[in-house]
Amino acid sequence: MNDTTHSPAGDDLEARLARALTEREDAVEAALDDVDAREDDAAFVETLRSEWLEPAPALRPVGRRRTVPRWLPVATAAAVLVGVVTLSTNLGGDAGPESRIDGSYLDVPQGDQAAAGAFDGTVEWPVSFDVPPFYDVVIRDLDPAKFGDDAVVATYKAQEGPAWTCPDDLETQLPERFAVELHDIAAAPGQQPQRLEFSRR
Amino acid sequence: METDSQEPPQGGAERPQEHAEEPAVLFPHAAATDHAPRPPTTATDDALWAADLELVQQTLTGDRTAGHAFVDRMVCIPRFLRRLDRRYGSPLGDDVLSDLSQEVAARVWRDRSRFAGKSRLESWVFGYARRVYLEGLGSWKDQSGLHVALDEGSDQHVDPGARVADAVAVELDAQAILELVDELPARDAEVIREKLVEGAPFSAIARGRGEDINAVKTRYYRALDRIRSRLHDDPRERDSQR
């Protein structure tokens, strides 16, 4: 008796199953045996290695960044930089707002913050970031009231990169204090997003 | 990824016609019983599956060594896609396949916590490769105008679109079936595989597993019934029967 063709229900399910399983095993065996190997396969793997395994660069605004001299009075700065948001920073996401370096106008990271790749300075609207592949951008209200329990203002799905720019239409919605978070879409459990906090002036 | 904006490769729309009289070329496995039985499953397979599961779980803890090993295994992705593409006469071309490879990789990396260790890692990845390939093929088919032939449905036409549609239907069927097999308890899935891929008789399966032959038969047919009922619940299956 040919068991492989017997089916009590009289349908072709066994044949379909056999075909699907056999096809998959053939494909896997061929892949493992390098039957269809090509040089650019190695390049593909190296790309994945850099995207998945290299630590994401510190979240920093790019372009449109404006340095303000340390000696410039705050009031003057506010008058000059119309439409500017002042940046303070909090890398790692697990430090509270009390750790922010608020009100500083240093454009170059200093000390421990520099080592952590943190940025402290002033950035001009619209703010842009380098966003690696496989990361989502989340805008979160730091004084949650109108955005619900999770305080999420907006979420932008993983981009191909290299840069993500906060869209113009978001400007009117942005609260006084907000955070831009970079979420690894394949984050390990408990892994915190990178995060930069802003307060608008 | 922007496969929708990809131009079909030159001559891509015509290629399936080259095989218009050779549908078997598209599906060399159309008759499963044509295949020589595979070597029987050994305890090593179970160990490999467990090792793959452990590897994936280690990547979830951020283990870099495991991460590198996982990445090395992803070399199968472009190979799977090229293999799938060849069945259709290679309509998508290297550039599109390269984009699709990235898409498969992104989904695999995102979903790796779902890998349950019921197969080799590559077998699990193959499901993603097929799904993404079919999406890419669908975009190519729409762009190349083959949907016109499909919509007209006339026997007078040289109808590569219909052949692609038929081929896609078979691929989707295989995909749906494999997803259901992978949902089975591991012991049931192993019996299905030994029976249908290796062509082992129940008596040999029972002997190899140290189980009663009636218990093996019951498990086999119960697993088939489960797959069958789930397929009938699947909208893809209902669509295919219209």
**Interface check A12 vs B, CB under 8 A:** no
Distance CA A37, CA A23 (A): 19
* Token couple for A34: 């390098």
The interface residues of chain A toward chain B in range 40-99, judged by CB-CB distance below 8 A, are 40-42, 44-45, 47-49, 52-53
**Interface check B98 vs A, CB under 8 A:** yes
* Token couple for A184: 């690894």
Please check whether residue B81 is in contact with residue B100, taking contact to mean a CB–CB distance below 8 angstroms: yes
Span of A130-134, B124-128, B225-229 with lowest mean pLDDT:
A130-134
Q: Please name which of B118, B143, B141 lies closest in space to residue B7, comparing C-alpha atoms.
A: B143
What is the C-alpha radius of gyration for chain B, rounded to an integer number of angstroms?
A: 20
**Interface check B157 vs A, CB under 8 A:** no
Q: Which of A62-66, A86-90, B87-91, B200-204 has the highest mean pLDDT?
A: B200-204
Torsion of CA A4, B216, B206, A13, to 10 degrees: 20
A172-196 average pLDDT score: 75
Please check whether residue A66 is in contact with residue B157, taking contact to mean a CB–CB distance below 8 angstroms: no
Size of interface A-B (CB pairs under 8 A): 150
Span of A24-28, A175-179, B26-30, B238-242 with lowest mean pLDDT:
B26-30
Inter-chain CB proximity B30 and A20 less than 8 Å: no
Inter-chain CB proximity B177 and A20 less than 8 Å: yes
Burial of A26 per CB tally in 10 Å (0-12, 13-18, 19+): middle
Distance CA A90, CA A105 (A): 15
Q: Please name which of A180, A137, A139, A140 lies closest in space to residue A160, comparing C-alpha atoms.
A: A137
Nearest CB among A32, A45, A188 relative to B122 is that of A32
The amino acid that residue A71 corresponds to is W
Q: What are phi and psi of B67, to 5 degrees?
A: -60, -45
Please write the tens of the pLDDT for every residue from A73-82.
444 444 334 3
**Interface check B231 vs A, CB under 8 A:** yes
Q: Residue holding tokens 């299905």?
A: B192
Q: How confident is the model at residue A34 (pLDDT cuts 50, 70, 90)?
A: confident
**Interface check A38 vs B, CB under 8 A:** yes
Nearest CB among B1, B74, B174 relative to A20 is that of B174
Please write the tens of the pLDDT for every residue from B64-112.
899 999 999 999 999 999 999 988 888 888 999 999 999 999 899 888 9
| pLDDT over 90 (residue A124) | no
Q: What is the DSSP letter of A199?
A: E
Please check whether residue B137 is in contact with residue B91, taking contact to mean a CB–CB distance below 8 angstroms: yes
CA B10 → CA B91, B101, B144, distances in Å? Answer: 9, 21, 10
Q: Which residue has the higher pLDDT, B185 or A180?
A: B185
Contacts 24+ apart (CB under 8 A), A68-77: A68/A105, A68/A107, A68/A121, A68/A122, A69/A105, A70/A105, A70/A106, A72/A105, A74/A103, A77/A105, A77/A122
Please write the tens of the pLDDT for every residue from A93-122.
333 333 233 332 223 333 443 444 445 555
Q: Please report which residue ranges of B34-159 form alpha helices under DSSP H.
A: 43-60, 64-73, 76-87, 93-111, 121-143, 146-152
The interface predicted TM-score (ipTM) is: 0.70
Q: How confident is the model at residue B37 (pLDDT cuts 50, 70, 90)?
A: low
**Interface check B202 vs A, CB under 8 A:** yes
Distance CA A184, CA B161 (A): 39
Which distant-in-sequence residues (6+ apart) come within 8 Å of B10 by Cβ?
none
Please check whether residue A60 is in contact with residue A180, taking contact to mean a CB–CB distance below 8 angstroms: no
Q: Which pLDDT belongs to residue B105?
A: 93
Q: Which pLDDT belongs to residue B1?
A: 35
Q: Which pLDDT belongs to residue A123?
A: 58
Span of A4-8, A68-72, A98-102 with lowest mean pLDDT:
A98-102
Distance CA A88, CA A201 (A): 12
Q: Please name which of B131, B143, B73, B71 lies closest in space to residue B103, comparing C-alpha atoms.
A: B131
Please check whether residue A200 is in contact with residue A82, taking contact to mean a CB–CB distance below 8 angstroms: no
Q: Residue holding tokens 């720019």?
A: A165
